[in-house]
């Protein structure tokens, strides 16, 4: 399916040529054959594929390979994720300086193969609902929350500068007790059901349609009770991403677009651009972290 004519996503020639240059340079994936020449057939296939879908429902999310995604993104703790963890831990730690009287119910939506957003809520929650639309991710999450892999320890340790996290001695045990994994569509989340929430690299990374980015973000905000704190992360200026051999879409957002949208459902917003000298991949311009309170 082609982008809808007349929208902001209508490809202009400069952007198309930029995409061609990036493919030719092998910046998405290597398209050069052994002789170093461009594999023209593969190149054309891939470029067609980039133009294949537009809306969330155009993509087969069950093809999302959680092991590839985890290995590429989270096998080793990166400097930008460390910075995000410190900021999110400090935000929730300060918000709950006076601990809540009862354990809260947390939501992590679009969890994919990432446990560190859920970890951010562990000290404060009796129950944390991990929700994703992809059956492959849901199956991966169900296994991991039972006893998560050792490399996640570094992520937990990065929260350790905040007393609420340092006090929690057995995070694996708490994860197993609190986490409840289920398949759910972000566009169909129940309203005002959760006390604290996280949504990392989801609303801008599930569609090429700016309207759906807005819907997903607003759906997340409305799923939280009024007064609930949240943290949400976004890839800036993303052109989409590969997981293994499968391309998934993105909407290019920046600080202003994220703030514009979040301010419909939240206040006390703080937005931070998190940059790094060693980007995760090509085709994006840093990570945006937003914290705030649902309204």
Ligand X SMILES: C[S@@+](CC[C@H](N)C(=O)[O-])C[C@H]1O[C@@H](n2cnc3c(N)ncnc32)[C@H](O)[C@@H]1O
User: Which residues contribute to the site for ligand X (CB under 6 A)?
Assistant: 56, 61, 64, 73, 110-112, 114, 132-134, 137, 185-187, 200-202, 205-206
CB 118 within 8 A of CB 198: yes
Nearer Cβ to ligand X, position 124 or 219?
A: 219
Shortest spacing between CB 56 and ligand X, in angstroms: 5
Phi, psi of 234 (to 5 degrees): -140, 140
Q: Is 266 helix (H, G, I), strand (E, B) or coil?
A: strand
Give the residue with the Cβ less far from ligand X, 104 or 113: 113
The whole-angstrom separation of Cα 52 and Cα 46 is: 10
Nearer to ligand X, 104 or 115 (CB): 115
| 196, HSE (Cβ side, Cα atoms, 13 Å) | 25
155: helix, strand or coil: helix
Chain position whose Cβ is nearest to ligand X: 112
Q: Pick between residue 76 and residue 169 the one whose CB is nearest to ligand X.
A: 76
Point out which residues pair with 198 in neighbouring strands.
Answer: 108, 231
In the bound state with ligand X, the residue whose beta carbon lies nearer, of 164 and 186, is 186
Q: How far is the CB of 98 from ligand X (least distance, A)?
A: 29
Transcribe 241-252 into DSSP letters: EEETTEEE----
Smallest separation, CB 201 to ligand X (Å): 4
The distance of closest approach from Cβ of residue 137 to ligand X in the complex, given in angstroms and rounded to an integer, is 5
Q: How far is the CB of 287 from ligand X (least distance, A)?
A: 10
Q: How far apart are CA 185 and CA 132, in angstroms?
A: 7
Q: Please state the φ and ψ torsions of residue 241, each to the nearest 5 degrees.
A: -155, 155
Beta carbon nearer to ligand X, 71 or 185: 185
Task: State the minimum distance, in angstroms, from the CB of residue 20 to ligand X.
Answer: 24
C-alpha 49: how far from its chain's center?
22
Helix (H) or strand (E) holding 181: strand 179-183
């Amino acid at each position: 399916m082609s982008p809808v004519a007349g929208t902001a996503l209508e490809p202009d020639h400069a952007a198309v040529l930029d995409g061609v240059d990036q493919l030719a340079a092998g910046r998405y994936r290597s398209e050069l054959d052994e002789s170093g020449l461009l594999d023209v057939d593969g190149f054309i296939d891939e470029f067609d594929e980039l133009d294949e879908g537009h809306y969330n429902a155009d993509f087969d999310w069950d093809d999302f390979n959680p092991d590839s995604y985890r290995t590429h993104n989270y096998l080793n703790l990166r400097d930008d994720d460390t910075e995000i963890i410190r900021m999110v831990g400090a935000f929730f730690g300060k918000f709950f300086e006076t601990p809540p009287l009862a354990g809260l119910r947390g939501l992590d939506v679009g969890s994919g193969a990432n446990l560190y957003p859920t970890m951010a809520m562990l000290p404060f929650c009796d129950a944390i609902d991990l929700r994703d639309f992809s059956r492959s991710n849901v199956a991966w999450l169900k296994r991991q929350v039972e006893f998560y892999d050792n490399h996640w320890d570094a992520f937990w340790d990065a929260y350790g500068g905040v007393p609420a996290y340092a006090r929690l001695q057995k995070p694996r045990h708490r994860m197993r007790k609190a986490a409840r994994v289920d398949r759910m569509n972000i566009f169909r989340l129940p309203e005002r059901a959760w006390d604290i929430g996280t949504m990392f690299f989801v609303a801008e990374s599930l569609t090429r349609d700016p309207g759906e980015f807005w819907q997903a973000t607003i759906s997340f905000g409305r799923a939280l009770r009024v007064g609930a704190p949240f943290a949400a992360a976004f890839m800036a200026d993303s052109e989409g991403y590969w997981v293994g051999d499968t391309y998934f879409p993105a909407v290019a957002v920046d600080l202003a677009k994220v703030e514009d949208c979040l301010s419909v459902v939240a206040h006390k917003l703080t937005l931070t651009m998190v940059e790094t000298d060693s980007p995760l991949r090509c085709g994006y311009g840093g990570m945006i972290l937003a914290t705030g309170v649902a309204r």
